[in-house]
Structure 1
């Protein structure tokens, strides 16, 4: 880092930016593809994550998918992006710091407690198997925001095991299809939230996937306060996604 006066700093740019193409089909939504193809995508994302994290110059690897114009997509063909950075993004740093503080204060993992509560109540769970749970968080930032979390205590996406690939593909595909059918193919952002290099053994955090439908526009209050406006109770949203025929190809709203 190089200081630029008493306040500002700058550093040389270094990183990696990769694009992962989902399939040769230009129009087919991920959840409409065979499960084997979804598995292949998950496996490749994990492989590239692990490969990039072997470079000691990278502190953080961000995996994400933008679907639709309101989500900022710049390439029509279905794809994911992976960006490796030499610094830890502030939002990710806050997430694992809060998890560490909770663990220090209570002696328990924040994400373990969170998942236990979701499984106990079942109110916000929309899909699950022996390895993963898809649910709408109690205080989601956006309407129909959906998380997918491993049942295993894994802080880093890099700790994903081969036997978890198929279960993750199943839960991811089902959750995306429920949103696709229930909300009429909404624009959305998807992120894989994981710890940076220095916190890979952090016991309080658990990596997870966030799916953020873009049903409304972020406006002045949100930008000015840092707070979110969610107009749909997560319990109502989860009930809607669980009900009806949202696992089929029939569009219902």
Structure 2
């Protein structure tokens, strides 16, 4: 659980390179294509995987990830199936950390106690739930942490010095710094400002800090990665998959459309040897 995340970041620190954290949507556009992408991510160079839990009202997501979630739901994806996908992934990979990312509503409907127990049993390492502030830690954060699941908290450019300690109080795994204000995929981050923000966060925590929102190219990833412990790429990967579809359906090229971009990003961050392993 959290041990897998800690081991991965310790390994990357020894290798003196930032993590490539990749976001893909579970079940997009269909379960088998989505699993082919997921299964190929580690060899392509992904160090940590964020797996989206589709939700019908994803308020923090930009158009690309919104559409991915709706495609997945249309294809029959459920929270139970997403947990099953992680279980299946663990049959072929026991080392790559997997973080489930999404919103609280599907978890609440599923049942928090049931969800936490099944997530742990499936091989999930942590959670990112974007609409649960620290004031609601009793709802999911603390039950998850009690079972050994990391609860990754988001910090933003508007998280000031008074707010930051509350955000970090029960955070574990790593801190996800949202480098821009707005929805996912809406703008490119400023590397200089990101470096200042990461340093400020690190003044309050020993956790790794990963930076996301708006990173699309190897050049951007390298610029951000020079100032952070990890770089999160989501919208660009989801967009690459969408571009490979024909009338909303996967093609033979769909998994490779995502994995080739992951290889490029990994090479840009100095992790190219993974893609060749």
- TM-score, length-normalised on structure 1? 0.26
Q: Which has the higher strand share?
A: 1
**Which of these two proteins has the greater Rg computed from alpha carbons?**
1
Q: Which has the higher helix share?
A: 2
